[in-house]
Amino acid sequence: QVTLWLKKIYGNEPIPEYEVNARTVDILYDLVECNEARDRDVSLLIEDMKQKATEYEAESEFEAPLLKSLDLSPSILSSEGTSYLNVLVNSAVILETKDTSLASFFCTINDMTLELYATESKNREIELELSNIRKKITAALLLEKWLEEDLKKTEELLEVEKAKADSRSQNLKFLKDKSKDLKIMIKAVE
């Protein structure tokens, strides 16, 4: 399959030499599949364009008698009329309507309006969710700040209490030593 594709691509020119191994064949096979998929997509697009061209021709054939019955012909329209007709046709092409009838325009505009409302609704939901997330982040940051302040105060209080405990410990040792000295003095006096 890869060889046939290479022959098709290069036509009458010789196929460049390449190392034939499992990896290169796999890569070339992937290229074949991508190329064939692209060719299918392009052919579908061409068919769609042909169908639209046929539909527009049928529409113009349908509208030609109508224009003639109104004594109008695209060639005798004023520049403003031709401009409006071109705008109508371009709008139909851009909106991808089935034809240039008012019903087709209304259906397409209605579909686009519904799509717009759905998108706006989704945007509002996302904005609301984003707002809620912002509020939660703000609350978390405030809580973190409070916790940091509490931790700092606790550490300062712990230092003060540690200093008090050290002071009390020294006083207790001093009092024990003094008590021993006094006991020794009492015994000596006795």
**Better-predicted residue by pLDDT, 62 or 109:** 109
- Pick the most confident of 55-59, 71-75, 132-136: 132-136
CA separation for the pair 59, 65 (Å, rounded)? 11
Is the distance from CB of 105 to CB of 97 less than 8 angstroms? Answer: yes
Per-residue pLDDT at 81? 72
pLDDT tens by residue, 158-172: 999 999 999 999 999
Kindly report which listed range (2-11, 59-68, 147-156) carries the lowest average pLDDT score. 59-68
| Prediction pTM value | 0.38
Give the tokens for residue 83: 């401009």
Handedness of CA 169, 175, 177, 183 (dihedral sign): negative
By the 8 A CB rule, do 5 and 35 touch? yes
Tell me how far apart the alpha carbons of residues 55 and 62 are, in angstroms, rounded to a whole number. Answer: 10
Q: Which two tokens stand for residue 72?
A: 């109008």
CA distances from 48 to 7, 15, 34, 86, 171 (A): 29, 34, 21, 22, 100
Q: What is the pLDDT of residue 69?
A: 55
| Span 32-64, pLDDT tens digits | 889 888 888 888 889 888 888 888 777 777 666
Amino acid sitting at position 12: N
Instruction: State both tokens at 39.
Output: 């060719």
- How many angstroms separate the CA atoms of 89 and 98, rounded? 11
* Angle (nearest 5°) at CA 27 between 24 and 28: 85
The domain limits of the chain are 1-76
